[in-house]
Amino acid sequence: MRRNAGAKAAAKDRPEPIRTMIVDDHALFRRGLEMVLADETDIELAGEASDGSEAVQKAGEALPDVVLMDIRMPRSSGIEACRAMKEVVPSAKIVILTISDEEEDQFEAIKAGASGYLLKDIPLDEVADAVRAVHGGQSLINPSMAGKLLTEFAALARRDEGERSQQVPVPRLTEREMQVLRLVARGMNNKDIAKELFISENTVKNHVRNILEKLQIHSRMEAVMVAVREKLIEFG
């Protein structure tokens, strides 16, 4: 009886598995991801789809925590699906997993609400860690791609220069929040930021949350976009 009670208590304390949906028009690639994620006890497959339209419909039914989605798909692209999915399941964290390293695709995906952008050459055994990271509130982007995104953001800032005088002033960030934001812009995760600033990871999370609340946005990369546009951080 004691053993059963202990097992029940352990099961109760165990966090709910991360419900993950896979969206890709290549069946073999979907199968490969499914096989990899099936070995993870803290991740549960919440469904799959072969195009963006199907993905949005199924996401509304399955309510996944994380969505791994390609960009190039029939009927509706991953970027279009990302926009629609954020309306249907706002809490879902979307990671674009694609072969495209085009700056425009990266930029549009982040604008559409994606929490990460990874290339398909990522080792499959790292996909589970990616799922856990975005579910935990981190944004995923390769440091090399972070530089490309900042270039695109800076170009957008220059194009929008004429409209800035009509925009609502951006709330001031504290000096520490600015430090955190600059490191986010370099593609660093919470753990690395904590080491860089000699603070705890929980403190970093609190700063990121405050930044998002002050800027009234939903993702770290959106924060970088706003910061570059408003010249809150230097780009060079």
pLDDT of residue 164: 47
pLDDT averaged per 10 residues, the chain (length 236): 51 78 94 92 94 93 94 87 90 89 80 85 86 84 64 61 52 89 82 92 91 82 76 63
pLDDT of residue 119: 86
Domain parsing of the chain, residue ranges: 2-140, 147-229
- Which two three-digit tokens encode residue 49? 């789809």
Q: Which fold does the domain 2-140 belong to in CATH?
A: Rossmann fold (3.40.50)
Q: Which fold does the domain 147-229 belong to in CATH?
A: Arc Repressor Mutant, subunit A (1.10.10)
Is 115:93 a contact under the CB 8 Å cutoff?
Answer: yes
pLDDT of residue 1: 47
Cα–chain center distance at 198: 25
pLDDT of residue 203: 93
- Which two three-digit tokens encode residue 234? 């230097």
